[in-house]
Structure 1
Amino acid sequence: MRGGRGGGRGGGRGGGFGGGGGRGGGGGGGRGGFGGRGGGRGGGRGAGGRGGGRGAGGRGGGRGGAAAVRGNVFQPHARMRGCYLLAGKDTLATKSLVPGVSIYGEKRLSGTTAGETESCEFRVWNPYRSKLAAAIYSGVAQIYMEPGSTVLYLGAASGTTVSHVSDLVGPEGVVYAVEFSHRSGRDLEEMTKRRNNIVPILEDARYPQKYRMLIPRLVDCIFMDVAQPDQARILALNAQHFLKDNGGFVISIKANCIDSTADPATVFASEVQKLKESGLRPKEQASLEPFERDHAVVTGYYKSPPK
Structure 2
Amino acid sequence: MSRPDGVAWHTFDGTRSLATRGKPVYGEQTDGEWRRWDPHRSKLGATFEKGLETGLRNGDSVLYLGAANGTTVSHVADFAGPTYAVEFAPRPARDLVAVARTRDRLFPLLKDARTPETYAHVVESELDAIVQDVATRGQARVANENRRFLADDGRLIAAIKARSEDVTREPPAVFEEVLESLTAEYEVLETERLEPYHDDHLAVVARPL
TM-score calculated relative to the size of structure 1? 0.65
C-alpha contact (below 8 Å) 1:258/1:267 kept by paired residues: yes
Once the two structures are superposed, what CA deviation does each residue of 1:252-295 show, in whole Å capped at 9, x if it has no partner? 1111111212221111111111101x221111010110111111
Matched residue type, 1:124: R
Task: Give the Å deviation of 1:89.
Answer: 5.5
C-alpha contact (below 8 Å) 1:176/1:215 kept by paired residues: yes
Matched, 1:83 2:7: yes
Task: Give the Å deviation of 1:216.
Answer: 2.8
Task: Give the Å deviation of 1:246.
Answer: 2.0
Matched, 1:300 2:169: no
Task: Give the Å deviation of 1:301.
Answer: 0.4
Secondary structure in 2 matching 1:156: coil
- Across the two proteins, how many residue pairs are aligned to each other? 206
Once the two structures are superposed, what CA deviation does each residue of 1:42-67 show, in whole Å capped at 9, x if it has no partner? xxxxxxxxxxxxxxxxxxxxxxxxxx
C-alpha contact (below 8 Å) 1:145/1:151 kept by paired residues: no
Secondary structure in 2 matching 1:90: strand
Q: Hey, what's the Cα distance between the residues in 2 that align with 1:132 and 1:85?
A: 15
The structure whose RCO (Cα within 8 Å, separation 6+) is larger is 1
Matched residue type, 1:217: S
Greater strand proportion: 2
- The percent identity for this pair of structures is 39
C-alpha contact (below 8 Å) 1:139/1:286 kept by paired residues: no
Secondary structure in 2 matching 1:256: helix
C-alpha contact (below 8 Å) 2:2/2:55 kept by paired residues: no
Task: Give the Å deviation of 1:79.
Answer: 1.6
List structure 1 segments (4+ residues) > 4 angstroms apart after TM superposition.
Answer: none
Matched, 1:181 2:84: no
Quote the residue 1:54 is aligned against: none
Once the two structures are superposed, what CA deviation does each residue of 1:128-187 show, in whole Å capped at 9, x if it has no partner? 1101011111221x2232211000000001100011001121xxx110000011111111
Quote the residue 1:273 is aligned against: 180
Task: Give the Å deviation of 1:217.
Answer: 3.1
Q: Hey, what's the Cα distance between the residues in 2 that align with 1:89 and 1:186?
A: 32
- Pick from 46, 55, 71 the counterpart of residue 160 of structure 1: 71
Q: CA RMSD in A?
A: 1.4
Task: Give the Å deviation of 1:229.
Answer: 1.4
- Pick from 213, 236, 257 the counterpart of residue 144 of structure 2: 236
Matched, 1:148 2:59: yes
C-alpha contact (below 8 Å) 2:64/2:83 kept by paired residues: yes
Unaligned runs of 5+ in 1: 1-77, 111-120
Once the two structures are superposed, what CA deviation does each residue of 1:62-89 show, in whole Å capped at 9, x if it has no partner? xxxxxxxxxxxxxxxx521221002696
Quote the residue 2:162 is aligned against: 255
Q: Hey, what's the Cα distance between the residues in 1 that align with 2:199 and 2:156?
A: 22
Residues 1-307 of structure 1 mapped to structure 2, 5 A cutoff: 79-81=2-4, 82-86=6-10, 90-96=16-22, 98=23, 102-110=24-32, 121-140=33-52, 142-169=53-80, 173-239=81-147, 241-276=148-183, 278-303=184-209
Q: Hey, what's the Cα distance between the residues in 2 that align with 1:252 and 1:219?
A: 19
Q: Hey, what's the Cα distance between the residues in 2 that align with 1:184 and 1:93?
A: 23
TM-score calculated relative to the size of structure 2? 0.94
Task: Give the Å deviation of 1:94.
Answer: 0.7
Unaligned runs of 5+ in 2: none
